[in-house]
Amino acid sequence: MKKNQKIIAPFFEIGPKNYIYGDRILDLALAADAASEKYDVHVIFTAPYADIRRVDEATRNIHVFAPHMDALPIGRGLADVLPESVKAAGAQGVMLNHAERPLSYSLLEKTVQRAKRIGLYTIICADSITEVKAGAHLKPDIIVAEPAELIGTGERANFDYVVDACKAVQSVNPDVMVLIGAGISSGRDVYDAITHGSDAAGTSSGVACADDPLAMIDEMVHAARKAWDDREEIKLGQ
């Protein structure tokens, strides 16, 4: 029952985006839920708005996140996503500023503050190392560092980028956790991201477009656990 626990490293994020929908979202969520328990790894599942409640109700371990929300107050805004709405549906957090839904920095700041006021976790996505730093200044729970041009390509960022992103967050705000995204397409990619210093890795197409998405989830969550344990062992050995 990890769902009720605070998210700590190592963790993993799956966001199927719009690659799949309906019942297949639920299948993925159930697989993620099982892997989370099996490997004792927190898993964030970023669900389409319409699936947040169903996914949350059907699972025990995963933390359901919204892919975006608007900072508007309760009231008008017909097609806007009210923070209280996704929270009431079961979302524990929200991803913001993804390359596919960028926000101005000023609006991002207001939206992070809005999320914090109602008790939602915040993830900020960033592209360059400079943007990673700028994001960390806003004190989110998590920074996603992912070179935008690699999203959806299956090609991951080089190790220097991973190391630099972790250092950049560390230099601004060591409390912020770092998740490496973009191009993560195997357990090996997850392992490498975490052993190079990140707290987590995440993927969309890496799972949604895999030959066997459910097996890939197991492989990746397993890799997150193994990477973390190996890192800890090395630390202890020193």
Contact 144, 162 (CB under 8 A): no
Query: What DSSP string runs through 47-68?
Result: --GGGHHHHHHT-SSPEEEES-
| Residue 84 to residue 105: CA distance in whole angstroms | 22
Q: Which stretch binds a second copy (CB under 8 A): 20-28, 153-161, 191-199, 213-221?
A: 20-28
Q: ∠ at Cα 157 (61, 30), nearest 5°?
A: 20
**Per CB under 8 A, does 138 bind a second copy?**
yes
Residue of 38, 40, 16, 12 whose CA lies nearest to 27 = 16
Q: Is 146 a catalytic residue?
A: yes
Measured between alpha carbons, how far is 40 from 82 in angstroms, rounded to an integer?
32
Sign for the CA dihedral angle at 144, 147, 153, 154 comes to negative
Q: Scanning residues 44 to 63, which ones bind a second copy (CB under 8 A)?
A: 46, 48-54
Distances (CA, A) of 36 to 105, 142, 217: 33, 19, 10
Among the candidate windows 31-39, 76-84, 155-163, 230-238, which touches a second copy by CB under 8 A? 76-84
Does 81 sit near a second copy (CB under 8 A)? yes
In the annotation, is 232 catalytic? Answer: no
Q: Return the residue matching tokens 């319409």.
A: 50
- Mark the segment that binds a second copy (CB under 8 A) among 31-39, 41-49, 216-224, 226-234: 41-49
d(CA 85, CA 94): 12
Q: Which is nearer to a second copy, 75 or 237 (CB)?
A: 75
For residue 106, state whether it binds a second copy (rule: CB under 8 A): yes
Interface residue with a second copy, options 28, 32, 108, 223 (CB under 8 A): 108
Name the catalytic one among 98, 131, 219, 222.
98
- Give the one residue of 23, 212, 229, 230 binding a second copy; rule: CB under 8 A: 23
Instruction: List, as one string, the DSSP characters of 183-211.
Output: S--SHHHHHHHHHTT-SEEEESHHHHTSS
Q: Does 204 bind a second copy (CB under 8 A)?
A: yes
- 179 scored as a contact of a second copy (CB under 8 A): no
Q: Give the chain's length.
A: 238
Q: Of 13, 131, 146, 219, which residue is the catalytic one?
A: 146
Judged by CB under 8 A, the residue of 103, 142, 157, 166 near a second copy is 103
| Catalytic residue annotation | 98, 146
Residues binding a second copy (CB under 8 A): 15, 17-23, 46, 48-54, 67-68, 72, 74-82, 84-86, 88-89, 91, 95, 97-109, 126-128, 130-131, 133-135, 137-138, 148, 151-152, 204-205
